[in-house]
């Protein structure tokens, strides 16, 4: 049975103040309920005012997703009664959202964007002594109340949990490039996933944090619905909670209909008119987006498409790292190959990302320069990069400290003479046509010089020595 999936992605915008007041959005280290005021606490008579920077961020997101930004939009009140909403309504957009009708290309397939709209974040509920249904009591922190969100609603175009995760990864990368979102912020991107089996009722799984968690939640829900269908049990339309510890979903409440929210126009906020000149100015400020960056690496630097995709899709930090390295080292293809093939592997082994590591463009290209100038072999560099990633020590300093510079001609010639003298049987076997004997002799020479030589060049020198005897 085919799955039908649509996502509602809530993105916390990177602004200094909240959507409708001047309170700080930076709650890291702040006292609970410290970043609050009468507006974000919903006091009677408090009048909201729209954060212009948040609107600009939202417009950039909409245009990056090829949405049509509406010439006029306004805010509405969405009424519901829940502890995280002190006003008993949320200021959002409904009848006239910011933007409609975009798309995101995913492996050549177009995933439709239904709408992009703005809204305020509710408070954060802290469940003490258990989960949402088993806690002893719940605390409320209003530091998050009023933080600006953009909600990106997709068409039901996603057909698998894996595809949903890929969509979120690409969307997150676009948002990171735009500079409107901090991927390191806890809860900076949260997802409500709507899933059904073709022809069946839709179930919404609320407030999932993390791309892997979205994939896991959808996997569980698809299997649950398939099992119910096989047993002849009807799936009810409802809202469910995802428990990341047990990797299960459970009933939260019956799914509300749109009319249950009693939307009305927000009377304390004016309508906002958007002209083409303003949109054009914001578009001119938008940076290069991931797909264009990948193509530029291919066109300008001659990087293979596969490697360019890995560099860009891994994250903005790695893209910037690559570009700094290319500015310091004249061989972009070599830089890309070593990043993709060896640097990322070493970072994964250490269990860290580029940002957390001590790897820097200057020292990284120093390692590549040591190869180019013949100070070390590529084979030795593959071993050195592991220590370099772990310590951040200058590769040149590392080579000098450990005496790993490639053997000189004199040292190499002495090692070859000694090996041929000590292994007369292997020499005789080679002359008798047993070519494997040459590989044995190569291994012996490399052992003597502690692998400080290019195997191809060393093998050629051994062959020359044997042929000259």
Q: What is the pLDDT of residues 295-348, one digit of tens each?
A: 999 999 999 999 999 999 999 999 999 999 999 999 999 999 999 999 999 999
Given 241, 261, 281, the domain boundary residue is: 281
Q: Are residues 368 and 444 in the same domain?
A: no
pLDDT at 460: 66
Between 428 and 326, name the one with better pLDDT: 326
pLDDT at 416: 66
Q: Are residues 17 and 112 in the same domain?
A: yes
Q: Are residues 179 and 263 in the same domain?
A: yes
| 398: nearest Cα among 438, 218, 390 | 390
Q: Are residues 109 and 189 in the same domain?
A: yes
Q: Are residues 182 and 313 in the same domain?
A: no
Q: Are residues 378 and 414 in the same domain?
A: no
Q: Is the pLDDT of residue 387 over 60?
A: yes
CA distances from 321 to 236, 285, 332 (A): 49, 22, 12
How many CB atoms sit inside 10 A of residue 459's CB?
17
Q: How far apart are CA 440 and CA 423, in angstroms?
A: 10
**Pairing mode, strands 109-120 and 99-106:** antiparallel
Q: Are residues 44 and 138 in the same domain?
A: yes
pLDDT at 375: 79
CATH number at residue 447: 1.10.10.410
Is 73:90 a contact under the CB 8 Å cutoff? no
Distance of CA 275 to the CA centre of its chain: 33
Q: Which residues of 23-41 are buried (b: 16+ CB within 10 A; e: fewer)?
A: bebebeeeeeeebbbebbb
Lowest mean pLDDT among 191-200, 292-301, 380-389, 406-415: 406-415
Q: Are residues 63 and 137 in the same domain?
A: yes
* Straight-line distance from the first to the last Cα atom of the chain, in angstroms, rounded to the nearest whole number: 74
**pLDDT-based confidence at residue 288 (cuts at 50, 70, 90):** very high
pLDDT at 260: 73
pLDDT at 283: 95
Q: Is the pLDDT of residue 257 over 70?
A: no
Is 27:35 a contact under the CB 8 Å cutoff? yes
pLDDT at 29: 81
Given 226, 261, 281, the domain boundary residue is: 281
Q: Is the pLDDT of residue 406 over 60?
A: no
Q: How far apart are CA 139 and CA 128, in angstroms?
A: 7
Find all residues with CB under 8 Å of 342, minimum gap 6, and list them.
Answer: 382, 385
Q: Are residues 395 and 414 in the same domain?
A: no
User: Residue 88 — φ and ψ, nearest 5°?
Assistant: 65, 20
Q: Are residues 235 and 337 in the same domain?
A: no
Is 213:206 a contact under the CB 8 Å cutoff? no
Q: Are residues 136 and 239 in the same domain?
A: yes
CA distances from 64 to 99, 288, 289 (A): 11, 10, 8
| 382: nearest Cα among 438, 317, 451, 435 | 451
Is 15:53 a contact under the CB 8 Å cutoff? yes
> Which residues partner with 285 through β-bridges?
none
Q: How many structural domains comprise the chain?
A: 3
Tokens of 63: 């245009």
Q: Are residues 268 and 170 in the same domain?
A: yes
Average pLDDT of the chain to the nearest whole number: 89
Given 247, 281, 315, the domain boundary residue is: 281
**pLDDT-based confidence at residue 273 (cuts at 50, 70, 90):** very high
Domain boundaries, position 306:
288-402
Task: Classify 323 as helix, strand or coil.
Answer: helix
Tens digit of pLDDT for each residue in 18-43?
999 999 999 888 899 999 999 999 99
């Amino acid at each position: 049975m085919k799955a039908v999936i649509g996502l509602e992605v809530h993105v916390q915008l990177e602004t200094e103040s909240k959507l409708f007041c001047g309170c700080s959005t930076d709650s890291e280290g702040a006292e609970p309920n410290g970043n609050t005021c009468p507006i974000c606490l919903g006091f009677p008579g408090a009048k909201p005012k729209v954060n212009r920077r948040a609107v600009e961020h939202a417009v950039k997101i909409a245009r990056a997703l090829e949405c049509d930004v509406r010439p006029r939009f306004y805010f509405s009140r969405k009424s519901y009664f829940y502890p995280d909403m002190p006003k008993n309504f949320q200021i959002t957009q409904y009848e006239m959202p910011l933007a409609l009708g975009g798309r995101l290309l995913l492996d050549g397939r177009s995933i439709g964007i239904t709408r992009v709209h703005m809204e305020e974040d509710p408070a954060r509920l802290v469940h003490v002594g258990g989960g949402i249904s088993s806690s002893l009591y719940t605390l409320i922190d209003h530091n998050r109340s009023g933080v600006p969100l953009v909600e990106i609603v997709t068409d039901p175009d996603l057909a698998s949990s894996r595809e949903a995760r890929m969509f979120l990864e690409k969307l997150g990368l676009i948002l990171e490039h735009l500079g409107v979102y901090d991927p390191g912020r806890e809860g900076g991107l949260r997802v409500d996933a709507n899933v059904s089996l073709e022809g069946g009722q839709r179930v919404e799984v609320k407030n999932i944090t993390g791309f892997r968690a979205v994939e896991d939640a959808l996997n569980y829900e698809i299997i649950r619905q398939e099992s119910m269908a096989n047993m002849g049990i009807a799936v009810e339309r409802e809202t469910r909670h995802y428990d990341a510890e047990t990797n299960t979903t459970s009933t939260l409440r019956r799914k509300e209909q749109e009319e249950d929210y009693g939307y009305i126009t927000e009377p304390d906020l004016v309508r906002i008119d958007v002209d083409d000149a303003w949109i054009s100015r914001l578009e001119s400020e938008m940076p290069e987006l991931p797909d264009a960056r990948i193509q530029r690496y291919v066109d300008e630097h001659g990087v293979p498409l596969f490697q360019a995709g890995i560099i860009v899709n891994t994250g903005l930090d790695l893209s910037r790292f690559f570009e700094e390295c290319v500015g310091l080292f004249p061989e972009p293809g070599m830089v890309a190959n070593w990043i993709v093939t060896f640097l990322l592997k070493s970072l994964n082994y250490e269990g860290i990302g580029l940002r957390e590591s001590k790897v820097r463009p200057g020292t990284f290209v120093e390692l590549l320069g040591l190869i180019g100038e013949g100070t070390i072999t590529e084979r030795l560099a593959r071993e050195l990069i592991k220590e370099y990633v772990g310590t951040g020590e200058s590769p040149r300093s590392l080579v000098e400290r450990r005496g790993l510079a490639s053997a000189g001609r004199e040292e190499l010639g002495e090692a070859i003479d000694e090996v041929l003298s000590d292994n007369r049987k292997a020499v005789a076997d080679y002359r008798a046509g047993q070519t494997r004997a040459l590989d044995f002799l190569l291994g012996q020479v490399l052992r003597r010089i502690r692998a400080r030589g290019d195997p191809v060049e060393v093998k050629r020198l051994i062959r020359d020595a044997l042929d000259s005897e």
